[in-house]
Amino acid sequence: MKVGTPRETAPDERRVALVPDSATRLAAAALEVNVESGAGSAAYITDEAYQQAGAKIVKGAAALMGEADAVLKVQAPSA
């Protein structure tokens, strides 16, 4: 199963639906974890931190959503 976390697009939204610790747990449970590049930047979480946690960094929300079986977001998807 593929889980995707896109970057939040709402103005002033600093939260992210998935932190590296949770990504590690999901990856350990045999899920493929994909995170949009820059998804954690407003929360001061780097792409490298997600990669070290076992997540794959994907460029662009469309690519991420297109291959995800489940999407983790703080706000409702915009489109």
Rg of the chain, C-alpha, whole Å? 11
- Chain segment 17-61, per-residue pLDDT in tens: 999 999 999 999 999 999 999 999 999 999 999 999 999 999 999
Residue 78 lies in a domain: no
Q: Is residue 15's pLDDT more than 80? A: yes
- Give pairs for 65-70: CB < 8 Å, separation 24+: 65/4, 65/6, 67/2, 67/4, 67/34, 68/2, 68/3, 68/4, 68/34, 69/1, 69/2, 69/3, 70/1, 70/2, 70/3, 70/4
Specify the pLDDT at position 9.
92
Give me the number of domains the chain comprises: 1
**Residue 77 belongs to a domain:** no
Residue 79 has pLDDT above 70, yes or no: no
CATH number at residue 54: 3.40.50.720
